[in-house]
Amino acid sequence: MRRTARIKDHAREKRLYTDRAFITAISVGIMLLGIVLRLFWLEGVRHSYYTELSQGNRVRLEALNPDRGLIYDRSGTVIAENTPAYQLELTPEQVPNVPDTLNRLAALGLIEVDQVPALRRLIRAGRKFEAIPLRLSLSDIDIAKFAARQHDFPGVALQTRLARWYPFGNVGAHMLGYVAAISEEDLSHISTDEYAGSSVIGKTGLENTYEQQLHGTTGFQQILVNAQGRHVDRLGGTTIKLSTKQPSAGSDLFLGLDMRIQQIAEEALAGHRGALIALDPMTGDVIALASVPSFDPNKFTRGISTHEYAQLRDDPNRPLFNRALRGTYPPGSTVKPLMALAGLEYGAIEPNTTRLCRGYYTLPGSSHEYHDWKKDGHGSVDMRRAIATSCDVYFYGLAETLGIDRMHDAMVNLGFGKLTGIDVTGERAGLMPSAEWKRQTYKQNWFPGETVIVGIGQGYLLATPLQLAHATAILAARGKNFRPRLVTAIRDATTREIKKLPPIEDPAVSIKDPGNWEVIVEGMEMATEAGGTAAAGLGRGTAYRIAAKTGTAQVFSLGQNEKYNANDVDEKLRDHALFVAFAPAEAPKIVVAILVENGGHGGTVAAPIARRIFDAYLLGEYGQPSTKARK
């Protein structure tokens, strides 16, 4: 076979080389241009942006916690403040064995044993170089205990922080509330930026309701860190300007509360379960709000132990329960003046109309006897005398004439069955029944026998002590309706300017004849005189006139022929004692509503407490409040 020879084409190869070189040069040129343009973009146009990012890699923001606002009573006495406290903190990278360290701290009693697993999870989730708080506030004994063994706990230290402190201890605890560690539930409704650096938040009472004002604004400071994120003083020879924004302290609250009266109220109720509300009827200011037994909020501030909380939670006397706002009770005879007012307004009865009380009442066509508290009856009584002697038979008949729906409308108009709107969390609305309410709730009709029972403050009717005080304040103010409130002024932490909050006046309770107010007040004044149900309890010789109404509310129902004897029933089944009053009767300055659970007769148990409050407030007796802090 003959082979053909290929002749090399030099011209073609040269053209191919030239084309490839040109394409390569163009590509290299484009890439170089891209690099130049990118450098110009980074170093010129975006220089400040990337400088800020670079700064962010070596500068970290550290939150600065604001001081919490203070709370004062009406005289300027501090009732919630901040004091230095030692906090126990652990830095993981400095601790050789974290589980062993936590167990040994628990053995010393510095932390709770059942808190160890949660603390271990918290430490694992955090950075190894950041301190983790183990306990918010240590007692002097715990500080000494740790100081003596500190050398055995490398990486664990005491740090000074500001902690909430209530100098009056358990006095006013339900009203003030308390602060405690921020929980997982709290994190679901607060801004993490606003609470960066904060370890506590208001949980109940004013501390919770006014959390936004009391908390303040978180500040920050820039700190220099290395590549591992650890705090350093400088990086190489470079000096970096670090900035700081100081936190703004929370606003201070000023209350209408008189801590002197508050102390007297709680001392007078000591040994009982009950509540006391004192209001200024012309402003709605809360002068005292007591619920006993109470608790020490400082335990929650320092970090209450599981054992301590279990004792409070399981105590049968329920010290954590705010009876003043959340306790609902049959108001008993304290509502009789209000029922009498409803009777006058609806024209169901005249003030001077008399009715004969034989000691029992029967509905038309029924043989069932509704007994009066006085077995032999009160004889012939008019409205004023019926209020003064608390004649059940008179109000049985009035209730039958009015009917449940008119009673419902009149009582709702005076604040029953709805919230008063007081500026603190946790209030309950109570219950003012009606025929429609029973149909919707029980799918049953309303019966006449239920009407007469509601007429003397029993049956389905339930009210809180605050509602009784509010309704009595409306009566005392002759229809003016001021919403109960605790906070009367707020002071800005930066400007120190005090902003006074005007009283909130809700629509007045208007009546057809203003003289009807005086009829009711006269009957309540007669209750404090000889023959009246409040006379013995209030005592003699007051320098002012008092209008009052006693009340006794049954805890359980008696049969037709059964007789009640307090000595024969369990203490928790005895009648509640209630009392409402205001003074001076002609120009009221203070209204008081008192409840003593299972206390018996209101005139015997609750009235003397009211007398102490009136004397202290109107006459300035019993001195000044003690500010001695609890240890």
Catalytic residue ranges: 333
DSSP codes joined into one string, 489-540? EEE-TTT--EEEPPP-EEPP---S-THHHHHHHHHHHHTTSTTSTTHHHH-S
CB count within 10 Å of CB 349 equals 20
Q: How would DSSP label each residue in 133-168?
A: EEES---HHHHHHHHHHGGG-TTEEEEEEEEEE-TT
Closest CA to 305 of 113, 73, 175: 113
Amino acid at 139: S
DSSP 8-state class, residue 42: I
Dihedral of CA atoms 199, 205, 209, 213 in degrees, nearest 10, equals: -60
Q: Residue 567: phi, psi to the nearest 5?
A: -75, -15
Rg of the chain taking only CA atoms, in angstroms? 37
CB 190 within 8 A of CB 211: no
Query: CA-CA distance, 319 to 292, in Å (whole number)?
Result: 7
Report the b/e string of 23-52 with b at 16+ CB within 10 A.
eeeeeeeeeeeeeeeeeeeeeeeeeeeeee
User: At residue 255, what are phi and psi to the nearest 5 degrees?
Assistant: -105, 160
Classify residue 346 as left (phi > 0), alpha (psi -120 to 50) or beta. Answer: alpha
Contact indicator for 297, 178 with CB cutoff of 8 Å? yes
Nearest to 80 by CA among 192, 194, 211: 211
**DSSP letter at 485?**
B
What is the dihedral sign for C-alpha 528, 592, 456, 565? negative
Q: How far apart are CA 314 and CA 327, in angstroms?
A: 18
- Count CB-CB contacts under 10 A for residue 529: 12
Strand partners, 84: 162
E strands, 540-575, are 547-553
Q: Are 546 and 538 in contact (CB under 8 A)?
A: yes
Question: Kind of pairing, strands 71-72 and 252-255?
Answer: parallel
Query: What is the DSSP-derived secondary structure letter of residue 572?
Result: G
Q: Which residue has the tokens 């510095």?
A: 110
Query: What is the signed CA dihedral for 182, 183, 187, 190, rounded to 10 degrees?
Result: -40
Helices (H) and strands (E) in the chain, counts: 24, 23
User: Which pairing describes strands 590-596 and 498-500: parallel, antiparallel, or unpaired?
Assistant: unpaired
Burial class (CB in 10 A: 0-12, 13-18, 19+), 78: middle
The answer to whether 524 touches 585, Cβ cutoff 8 Å, is yes
Are the beta carbons of 302 and 136 closer than 8 angstroms? yes
d(CA 58, CA 533): 78
Residue 123 tokens, joined: 């430490």
